[in-house]
């Protein structure tokens, strides 16, 4: 059999069974050869690679405009991911961990409030800020957030900040405003029909608490730490969760991210904008709708906290989410198992402890 014939046979075989494209190296023209991928979507894939980092698993492509589950299924047999691709962010930003710190400059308490969010930020000698207030279980029992704040010896709050007006984030804030001195209340200002939200706004007005709408870039100087509004939230075509405000916290070399209940659409938009963090509150209580992997890879948190109720009916946190954080080496803690989660930092190192519920 001649050499020429063998070469022709190999060429024909490659047409019948083409070599899969490396999705991270394929050119625009090559991408356009994929089934269902036109010039606009091919360009979107390239933009995604440049802004969000390398595609490490094919499901990452679901964050590309124009690619849904059906399109992904059609192109999956024709593309591949180089196994040698590395995570876009390493662990160089992770800080040394200590059993205890002599002079912490910032304390972050992810409060055990059941199925909801409430995070207390405090700087010794500076300001104390409450982000969200968890649910109100109703009846004569005070909301869990009030019990936690009293237990921590809190009687005044320099500021209260809410991410969005769902009851599991603001239900406890009505009593917080009534019972504690509040320096200023910050609201993303969504139009949201809710008796709880209406009651909260009325209580703020009755108590004479200064009220301010959030703005992107707004900072709250807490003394030895700063809270920054990364995204002011508000009306979103994706719904109330997607309209959650997002906050960053810095203290020396330490960084944190609090992102309310944002879901994948917001995570896709934020991925090119966020920077690595040492701590984050897992969005939406660890829901599988809120763990877009390129977003988590870009953050590469050293520690993460899931605020969820014990035996909650939503299955929070979802097992797939736990696996994603584990794949990044993140130490993940859960209020449904550990109670309130306390993190302290002096700006150069971290100390973490939990308070198991009785």
Q: Domain holding 73: CATH number?
A: 1.10.150.320
pLDDT tens for the chain, residues 1 to 358: 555 555 555 455 445 567 899 999 999 999 999 999 999 999 999 999 988 888 999 999 999 989 999 999 999 999 999 877 788 889 999 999 999 899 999 999 999 999 999 999 999 989 999 999 999 987 778 999 999 999 999 999 999 999 999 999 999 999 999 999 999 999 999 989 899 999 999 999 999 999 999 999 999 999 999 999 999 998 787 889 999 999 999 999 999 999 999 999 999 999 999 999 999 999 999 999 999 999 999 999 999 999 999 999 999 999 999 999 999 999 999 999 999 999 999 999 999 999 864 3
- Same domain? 60 vs 179: no
- Same domain? 176 vs 114: yes
Residues 129-155: pLDDT tens digits? 999 999 998 777 899 999 999 999 999
Residues 6+ apart with CB under 8 A from 254: 95, 106, 278, 279, 345, 347, 348, 350
Q: Considering only CA atoms, which of 258, 137, 160 is closest in space to residue 207? A: 160
Give the CA-trace dihedral at 267, 310, 115, 229, to 10 degrees: -40
* Residue 99 placed within a domain: no
**What gap in Å lies between CA 52 and CA 46, rounded to an integer?**
10
Amino acid 358: pLDDT? 39
Stated pTM of the model? 0.90
Residues 344/350, Cβ–Cβ less than 8 Å: yes
Amino acid 334: pLDDT? 97
The total number of residues shown for the chain amounts to 358
- Same domain? 121 vs 68: no
Domain boundary pick from 65, 80, 95: 80
* Residue 101 placed within a domain: no
- Same domain? 55 vs 201: no
Number of structural domains in the chain: 2
- Same domain? 76 vs 216: no
- Same domain? 135 vs 204: yes
Q: Residue 44: left if φ>0, alpha if ψ -120 to 50, beta else—which one? A: alpha
Amino acid 87: pLDDT? 86
DSSP per-residue codes, 181-205: EES-EEE-------HHHHHHHHHHH
Amino acid 14: pLDDT? 47
Q: Which residue range(s) make up the domain with 248?
A: 106-355
What tokens were used for 327?
């794949």
Q: Domain holding 120: CATH number?
A: 3.60.15.10
Per-residue buried b or exposed e for 260-285, using 16+ beta carbons within 10 Å of the residue's own CB: bbbbbbbbbebbeebebbbbbbbbbb
What tokens were used for 63?
């964050």
**What gap in Å lies between CA 35 and CA 73, rounded to an integer?**
10
- Same domain? 24 vs 110: no
* Residue 92 placed within a domain: no
- Same domain? 57 vs 129: no
Residues 6+ apart with CB under 8 A from 203: 174, 177, 178
What tokens were used for 282?
């897992």
In the block, tokens 């997607």 appear at 242
- Same domain? 230 vs 319: yes
* Residue 30 placed within a domain: yes
**What gap in Å lies between CA 130 and CA 132, rounded to an integer?**
6
* Residue 223 placed within a domain: yes
- Same domain? 44 vs 119: no
* Residue 72 placed within a domain: yes
- Same domain? 202 vs 236: yes
Amino acid 5: pLDDT? 56
* Residue 22 placed within a domain: yes
Amino acid 356: pLDDT? 67
Domain boundary pick from 80, 114, 142: 80
- Same domain? 130 vs 74: no
Output the furthest CA–CA distance in the chain (Å, rounded): 94
Amino acid 238: pLDDT? 81
Amino acid 237: pLDDT? 78
* Residue 93 placed within a domain: no
């Amino acid at each position: 059999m001649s050499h020429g014939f063998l070469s022709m046979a190999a060429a024909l075989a490659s047409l019948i069974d083409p070599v899969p494209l490396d999705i991270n190296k394929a050119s625009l023209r090559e991408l356009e050869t994929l089934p269902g991928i036109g010039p606009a979507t091919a360009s979107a894939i390239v933009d995604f690679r440049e802004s969000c980092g390398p595609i490490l698993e094919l499901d990452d492509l679901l964050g590309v405009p124009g690619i849904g589950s059906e399109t992904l299924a059609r192109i999956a047999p024709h593309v591949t991911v180089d196994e040698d691709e590395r995570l876009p962010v390493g662990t160089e930003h992770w800080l040394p961990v200590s059993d205890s710190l002599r002079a912490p400059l910032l304390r972050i308490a992810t409060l055990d409030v059941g199925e909801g969010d409430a995070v207390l930020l405090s700087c010794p000698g500076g300001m104390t800020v409450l982000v969200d207030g968890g649910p109100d279980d109703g009846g004569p029992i005070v909301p869990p957030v009030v019990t936690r704040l009293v237990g921590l010896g809190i009687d005044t709050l320099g500021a209260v900040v809410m991410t969005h007006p769902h009851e599991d984030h603001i239900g406890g804030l009505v009593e917080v405003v009534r019972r504690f001195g509040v320096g200023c209340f910050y609201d993303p200002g969504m139009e949201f029909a809710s008796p709880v939200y209406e009651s909260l706004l009325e209580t703020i007005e009755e108590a004479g608490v200064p009220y301010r709408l959030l703005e992107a870039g707004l900072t709250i100087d807490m003394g030895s730490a700063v809270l920054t509004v990364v995204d002011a939230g508000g009306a979103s075509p994706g719904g109330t969760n997607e309209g959650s405000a997002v906050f960053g916290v810095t203290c020396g070399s330490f960084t944190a991210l609090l992102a309310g209940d944002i879901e994948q659409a917001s995570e896709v938009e934020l991925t090119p904008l966020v920077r690595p963090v040492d701590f984050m509150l897992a969005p939406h209580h660890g829901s599988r709708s809120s763990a877009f992997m390129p977003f988590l890879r870009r953050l590469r948190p050293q520690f993460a906290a899931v605020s969820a109720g014990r035996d909650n009916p939503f299955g929070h946190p979802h097992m797939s989410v736990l696996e994603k954080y584990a794949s990044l080496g993140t130490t993940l803690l859960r209020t449904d198992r550990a109670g309130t989660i306390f993190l302290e930092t002096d700006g150069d190192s971290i100390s973490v402890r939990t308070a198991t519920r009785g």
